[in-house]
Amino acid sequence: MIHQSNRRELLLGSGALFAWAYLPRVAQAEGRDPRFLVIVLRGALDGLATVAPVGDPDWQRLRGNNALTTDGATAALPLDAFFALNPAMPNLHRLYKAGQATIVHAVATPYRERSHFDGQDVLESGFIRPGSADTGWLNRALAGMPAAGRVNPKQAFAVGPIAPLVARGPAPVLAWTPPRLPPASNDTMSRLVDLYRHTDPALATAMEERSALSAIAGSGAMGDTAKKPQMAQGIPGAAVRAYFAESASAAAKFMARPDGPRVGALAFDGWDTHANEGATKGRLAVLLAALDGAITALESGMGDSWKDSVVAVITEFGRTARINGTEGTDHGTATIALLVGGALKGGRVIADWPGLKEANLRDGRDLKPTTDLRSVMKGILKDHLRVDDHRLAKDVFPGSQAISPLAGLV
């Protein structure tokens, strides 16, 4: 049966962590014990504000005062002569310098519209169009991969009530719910209420009542919040950092065990930065710092297994090349994919750079994609987990015969 991802399922899948309970047979025969974790950033990451093309002569003209530069009080962290990393991510910068991080820029899925839900469906299903499957590419890759034996039947797990689409399929998934859950922002709540007012009035009413109670509880009786770390749109930055770190620590704890799972996936929401994006001192800066902390938690928690690990951080699409009238960015096309782990041949930014001149922007507004995200994931699956080319093109990413795996990542 074809799965049509509905909005409630996608939202309930937020934070989901899935893991496979088998050892890859081919890798084990080679004397390796690889781990692979996929982190989905839902909401569309601004790749230009995360890894800035400071060497592009049109960069500062395009973003003006919002353009990251390698000088000033909030200087970006140089990666090479052309690209620099957002200063909120010093740990990722350290791993990059140690050869344990790679950035692929100007990357995108085959999706070319601007719906989060459809974009996430394509990102996680591995199909060209949304609504094409009720299974995810990662699960299908694992289901057809020769296994050396079950590690522990209780080590396939998911954080949250519903596994994300990328993890759904024949490989077993169990649930684990963290004690700490991230709060929803005011903007997110208002968007959801408006959405469900037309499709699920009862849920909309309940959400409105909850928001009203939260507003009453937060007025006056909560002390001086001005001095507390805050995200834009009402999300406490400390809570987001704690949730990201806790989820990553849980993944590391399970995957580092000798009898633990070897492959997993989790998702972090909140990356839709339409207003007050704040690349260095706002919402995006807090989110990137939280992601940086999650990466550190993974590295620390994996211990000796880190040397055999690859973590891929991906998102449904990018954001507009220009800042909009509310100091944010709208839905775009190309973005970045972040790869970290001790198994990588890192210390590189991989990019067929399209340029930021007006004529080079897609639709006159977006960073033009030059690398297919499927090629990046194919490269990891082939060289790290030894999934063969035929399965990658036929079952994992159907219709991708013309998309070659990106070689040399590990």
Q: Give the number of other CB atoms < 10 A from CB of residue 149.
A: 9
The tens digit of pLDDT for each residue in 331-367 reads 999 999 999 999 999 999 999 999 999 999 999 999 9
What pLDDT was estimated at residue 21? 53
Per mean pLDDT, which range of 172-176, 194-198, 202-206, 208-212 is the poorest? 208-212
Ordered alpha helix ranges (H), 164-200:
186-199
The terminus-to-terminus CA distance of the chain in angstroms comes to: 36
Q: Report the b/e string of 83-102 with b at 16+ CB within 10 A.
A: bbbbbbbebbbbbbeeebbb
Measured CA to CA, the distance from residue 347 to residue 80 in angstroms comes to: 9
Q: How far is CA 365 from CA 29, 72, 105, 120, 410, in A?
A: 49, 27, 17, 21, 34
Q: Give the number of other CB atoms < 10 A from CB of residue 154.
A: 12
Helix, strand or coil, per DSSP, at residue 230: strand
pLDDT above 50: residue 2: no
pLDDT above 50: residue 371: yes
The answer to whether the beta carbons of residues 354 and 108 sit under 8 Å apart is no
Cα 406 from chain centre: 19
The bridge status of strand 263-268 relative to strand 35-41 is parallel
The answer to whether the beta carbons of residues 235 and 214 sit under 8 Å apart is no
pLDDT above 70: residue 191: no
What pLDDT was estimated at residue 379? 98
Residue 151 pLDDT class (50, 70, 90 cuts): very low
The bridge status of strand 84-85 relative to strand 51-52 is antiparallel
Q: pLDDT averaged over the chain?
A: 82
Q: Higher confidence at residue 215 or residue 243?
A: 243
pLDDT above 70: residue 242: yes
Residue 222 pLDDT class (50, 70, 90 cuts): very low
The answer to whether the beta carbons of residues 15 and 160 sit under 8 Å apart is yes
Q: What is the mean pLDDT of residues 22-27?
A: 63
pLDDT above 80: residue 9: no
Q: Give the number of other CB atoms < 10 A from CB of residue 67.
A: 19
Q: What is the mean pLDDT of residues 207-217?
A: 44
The tens digit of pLDDT for each residue in 39-60 reads 999 999 999 999 999 999 999 9
pLDDT above 90: residue 161: no
Q: How far is CA 163 from CA 153, 265, 403, in A?
A: 17, 9, 28
Measured CA to CA, the distance from residue 122 to residue 116 in angstroms comes to: 10
Q: What is the mean pLDDT of residues 25-29?
A: 68
What pLDDT was estimated at residue 11? 38
Q: What is the mean pLDDT of residues 212-227?
A: 36
pLDDT above 90: residue 368: yes
Burial of 304 (0-12, 13-18, 19+ CB in 10 A): exposed
Q: Give the number of other CB atoms < 10 A from CB of residue 356.
A: 21
pLDDT above 90: residue 214: no
CA neighbor of 351 nearest in space, from 331, 363, 334, 366: 334
What pLDDT was estimated at residue 382? 96
pLDDT above 80: residue 224: no
The tens digit of pLDDT for each residue in 248-266 reads 998 888 888 887 778 888 8
The tens digit of pLDDT for each residue in 73-92 reads 899 999 999 999 999 999 99
Tokens 């990251």 found at: 68
CA neighbor of 10 nearest in space, from 43, 51, 56: 43
pLDDT above 50: residue 232: no
The tens digit of pLDDT for each residue in 263-280 reads 888 888 889 999 999 999
Tokens 């740990």 found at: 91
What pLDDT was estimated at residue 215? 41
Strand partners, 266: 39
Residue 181 pLDDT class (50, 70, 90 cuts): low
